[in-house]
């Protein structure tokens, strides 16, 4: 793959993750996912991302030909159970997993400071606090897109964001998903697939940025 293709693949992966975690997956998203247009990276990327995409393919195979509205309704119930509650078993917020701060406390201001330093502000219509997984991924997407257009300073912003934020909590988040959705049984689970792809993306981005800015 050339540089342009790598950038496109990075952005497509982030877009997929934002759509999965932003809110309960929509019927339109499910329709696209179950179509023949699903693309996964060719070859191997890293263990976690490869495993996530294999699980995603199994989800698509298990649901291909089903009514997208029905599948979206089922995913909505599962999304609510996992992430919304009333007592959700998994909380995809950075400050929930950080031992050095309280949930939605001081750590939230630190996350927001990273956004501000890079000249980015979260969209106002995001339904969760600014340390929510989909918001952090949207920030990552912004940095990748700016790198693509030659803004080399954004590699430094990404280096800091990885070291001080994403790398601090992504593994614990995936551990919680795996505890709640047995990876040996949840062979066709969209959310576990997305969790594995998310972990693989963080590790992949760490490698990409290390080539530009050492940790």
Kindly report, residue by residue over 37-48, the tens digit of the pLDDT: 667 677 788 999
Average pLDDT over residues 165-192: 90
What whole-number distance in Å separates Cα of residue 33 and Cα of residue 30?
A: 5
Contact 95, 105 (CB under 8 A): yes
pLDDT at 101 over 70: no
DSSP 8-state symbol, 65: T
**What sign for the dihedral angle of Cα 45, 136, 87, 106?**
positive
Return the SS3 of 128: coil
DSSP-based three-state secondary structure for 132 = strand
Percent of the chain's residues with pLDDT above 70 = 93
pLDDT of residue 212: 87
Q: How many whole angstroms from its chain centre is CA 153? A: 23
pLDDT at residue 1 in the model: 75
The per-residue pLDDT of the chain, averaged, comes to 91
- Distances in Å between the alpha carbon of 98 and those of 52, 130, 150, 215? 24, 15, 33, 20
Say yes or no to pLDDT of 104 above 60. Answer: no
- Residue 177, helix vs strand vs coil: helix
Q: CATH top-level class for 3-210?
A: mainly alpha
The arithmetic mean of pLDDT across residues 190-196, rounded, is 97
Q: Can you give the pLDDT at residue 18?
A: 96
pLDDT in tens, 23-36: 999 999 999 999 86
């Amino acid at each position: 793959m050339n540089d342009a293709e790598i950038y496109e693949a990075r952005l497509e992966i982030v877009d997929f993750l934002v759509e999965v975690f932003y809110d309960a997956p929509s019927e339109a998203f499910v329709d696209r996912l179950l179509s023949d247009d699903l693309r996964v990276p060719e070859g191997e990327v890293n263990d976690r991302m490869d495993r996530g995409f294999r699980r995603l393919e199994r989800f698509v195979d298990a649901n291909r030909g089903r009514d997208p509205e029905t599948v979206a309704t089922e995913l909505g119930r599962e999304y609510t159970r996992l992430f919304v509650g009333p007592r959700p078993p998994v909380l995809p917020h950075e400050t929930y997993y950080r031992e050095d701060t309280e949930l939605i406390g001081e750590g939230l201001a630190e996350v927001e400071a990273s956004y501000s330093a890079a000249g980015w502000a979260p969209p106002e219509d995001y339904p969760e606090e600014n340390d929510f997984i989909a918001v952090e991924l949207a920030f990552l997407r912004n940095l990748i897109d700016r790198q693509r257009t030659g803004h080399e300073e954004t590699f430094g912003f990404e280096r800091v964001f990885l070291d001080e934020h994403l790398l601090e909590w992504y593994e614990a988040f995936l551990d919680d998903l795996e505890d709640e959705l047995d990876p040996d049984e949840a062979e066709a689970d969209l959310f576990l697939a997305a969790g594995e792809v998310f972990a693989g993306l963080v590790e992949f981005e760490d490698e990409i940025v290390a080539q530009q800015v050492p940790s």
